[in-house]
Amino acid sequence: MLRRRLRQSAEKNQHTERWLVSYADYMTIMFAFFVVMYAIAINKEENFQILSDSLEQVFDKSARQQSQQGEGVTGEGLLTDRVTPEQELLYGESIQKQESGPELLDGQSDTSNIKQKHLGKPLDSLLTKLHSALIDEIRDGEASLELNQDWLIIELSSGMLFSSGSSVAHARAKQVVKIVKDIIAPVDNYIRVRGYTDNESIRNEMFRSNWELSVARATSILVELETLGINPARMAIEGYGQYSPFADNDTAAGRAENRKVVIALSKYGLVQQTTENENKAESDEQVQEAAPEPEVELPSDDNSIKIIRLPHGGIRITTRNDSN
């Protein structure tokens, strides 16, 4: 009888304490749940990102494998495409963060705003004048005009300017150059005289290659411009030989088109030096005006002592006789 009571009491106590295990599991789950909810409620985005990263590592879930919307772990928010260790070793953090350079203000990319460069006469106005002056040559195919962003190009046929294999300008060439000179002389735009040839080789007592022929022809036109009064500081020579053709050298017409001299006017002009000369003249005048007054010897009772008035108001007393 006693044994039965003891067994019933033990079974009763066993069933009574079993709920503690379930309660402990429940409390553990609730504690974890409140920890997660508290972390989600944090306003700081950095802390939330740290929590999201930790959860992803624990549960091994990638945000890219989900299609949910919003700002959560799988949305458009914090967990973006990750950099693999190999990519981070090769490229660093810049693979995700592309730093942009300094923002340019409007007009800064335009080279015409550079203060060191002086703009010359507008090229479009020169184009109009040259077209009117060279209308006959343009109609006959001996000249052509082209305007781009930086240059006004005057193309003159070598057949009109020179004999074959020669760099001596014809009388006709001098007439055309004078027409061009009358229009470009009053302005200060830079001038480039460029020589071109075809691909037919030349080797004589004057020229060993097309390089020399193209440079010699450009030089001949430049010297003619200088003789007519163009400021030589504005001009320069460029020789291209046969290596910058305008047309195909396989045909006679193409070779004829490639033999030419180009007078190119830049949109930039030569900075005038008159201001510097004027400043120098003004400085010379100021130096002359500020020239020191001559020293004046004051009278003295003692002939062995001299009192000299200095230009700036002081005096000098000396016993030296400079006349000896």
What's the pLDDT score for residue 19?
Answer: 75
What's the pLDDT score for residue 164?
Answer: 86
Q: 58 pLDDT exceeds 70?
A: no
Mean local confidence (pLDDT), 128-139: 94
pTM check: above 0.85 = no
Q: At what angle do helices 19-40 and 2-17 cross, to 10 degrees?
A: 10
Contact present, 158 and 217 (Cβ < 8 Å): yes
Secondary structure in 3-state letters for the chain: CHHHHHHHHHHHHHHHHCHHHHHHHHHHHHHHHHHHHHHHCCCCHHHHHHHHHHHHHHHCCCHHHCCCCCCCCCCCCCCCCCCCHHHHHHHHHHHCCCCCCCCCCCCCCCHHHCCCCCECCCHHHHHHHHHHHCHHHHHCCCEEEEECCCEEEEEEEHHHHCCCCCCCCCHHHHHHHHHHHHHHCCCCEEEEEEEECCCCCCCCCCCCCHHHHHHHHHHHHHHHHHHCCCCHHHEEEEECCCCCCCCCCCCHHHHHHHCEEEEEEEEEECCCCHHHHHHHHHHHHHHHHCCCCCCEEECCCCCCCEEEECCCCCEEEECCCCCC
Average of per-residue pLDDT values in the chain? 75
Question: What is the amino acid identity at position 200?
Answer: E
Residue 285 banded pLDDT, cuts 50, 70, 90: low
Mean local confidence (pLDDT), 124-151: 93
Complete domains list, the chain, with CATH: 2-93 (no CATH), 123-269 (3.30.1330.60), 292-324 (no CATH)
Structure tokens at 303: 């002939």
Of 117 and 139, more confident: 139
Q: 238 pLDDT exceeds 80?
A: yes
11-25, 28-42, 51-65, 175-189: least confident range: 51-65
Structure tokens at 88: 């981070």
Mean local confidence (pLDDT), 145-172: 92
Contact present, 74 and 62 (Cβ < 8 Å): no
* Residue owning tokens 């088109």: 257
Mean local confidence (pLDDT), 284-313: 59
* Rounded Cα distance, 85 and 94, in Å: 13
pLDDT over 90 for what percent of the chain?
41
Contact present, 3 and 9 (Cβ < 8 Å): no
What's the pLDDT score for residue 309?
Answer: 67
What's the pLDDT score for residue 37?
Answer: 80
pLDDT digits (tens, 9 = 90+) for 69-110: 444 444 444 444 555 554 444 444 444 444 443 443 443 334
Q: At what angle do helices 123-133 and 171-184 cross, to 10 degrees?
A: 140
* Rounded Cα distance, 31 and 13, in Å: 28
* Rounded Cα distance, 16 and 20, in Å: 8
* Rounded Cα distance, 45 and 31, in Å: 23
* Rounded Cα distance, 152 and 120, in Å: 12
DSSP-derived pairing of the beta strands 189-196 and 235-239: parallel
Strand order of the β-sheet with 315-318 is 296-298, 306-309, 315-318
* Rounded Cα distance, 194 and 211, in Å: 11
98-112, 147-161, 191-205: least confident range: 98-112
